[in-house]
Amino acid sequence: MLELVVRIININSGYNESIIKKSKSLSGYVSFVDKTRQYMSDGDSLQAAIEKAIDYCIDQGILVEFLEKNSREVRNMLFTEFNLETAKEVWREEGIEIGEARGEARGVERKAVEVAKKLLSSGFTLEQTSEYADLSIEKVASLKACL
């Protein structure tokens, strides 16, 4: 089993400026996003705001090489609007499925331990119990030590 801990850093304008200043690309990205938000707050659609922000950044020397090389991909990717409510629903459903799978696995293991204890109490060998209960020899031995 692997546990992953991820540190999330807010890179919106006005937050963690010391980190943003360390990377020209990151700083450019923050400028691009800020400009897009500004254009949208001025009444532009998402698509128009992105177009204007790309033009603005290129004119201002921000992310020029990247935007000139990849502007089509940037437009295509960003025009597909992220719907937070849909994402939350998907995450919730995935969480339920994962929880159910974990619960089912724990239930199966508990049942196997229960069966193993009964087999050991009835005089079955470690090997027989391991095979019938579908548990490792080590697990069966530790169960026998507890009886």
Do 92 and 74 share a structural domain?
no
Using CA atoms, how far apart are residues 60 and 49, in angstroms rounded to an integer? 16
Per-residue model confidence (pLDDT) at position 62: 93
Q: What is the pLDDT of residues 18-45, one digit of tens each?
A: 888 898 988 999 999 999 999 999 999 8
Q: Are residues 64 and 112 in the same domain?
A: no
The pLDDT value given to residue 44: 92
pLDDT at residue number 40 = 92
- Do 91 and 67 fall into the same domain? no
122 falls within a domain: yes
Which residues does the chain have with pLDDT short of 50? none
Which DSSP state fits 134? T
Confirm whether pTM is higher than 0.85: no
Of 62, 79, 96, the residue at which a domain comes to its end is: 79
Domain closes at, from 58, 79, 100: 79
Residue 22 phi, psi (nearest 5):
-75, -15
Which H or E run includes 98? helix 84-121
Q: And the tokens for 121?
A: 């109490």
Together in a domain, 71 and 88:
no
At residue 80, the pLDDT reads 60
> What pLDDT score was predicted for residue 58?
93
Instruction: Give a yes or no: residue 46 inside a domain.
Output: yes
The verdict on 65 and 105 lying in the same domain is no
Q: Is residue 93 part of a domain?
A: yes
Number of domains in the chain: 2
Is 40 a member of any domain?
A: yes
Q: Are residues 24 and 68 in the same domain?
A: yes
Q: Are 13 and 34 in contact (CB under 8 A)?
A: yes
Residue 101: its pLDDT value, please?
A: 83
Residue 55 is predicted with a pLDDT of 92
Cβ-in-10-Å burial (0-12, 13-18, 19+) of 26 comes to middle
Residues of the domain holding 127: 84-146
Measured CA angle at 114 (ends 111, 116), to 5 deg: 110
Q: Which DSSP state fits 108?
A: H
Separation in Å, CA 82 to CA 34, 78, 105:
17, 8, 34
Q: Is 98 within a domain?
A: yes
At which of 79, 104, 131 does a domain end? Answer: 79
**Residue 62: other Cβ atoms inside 10 A:** 21
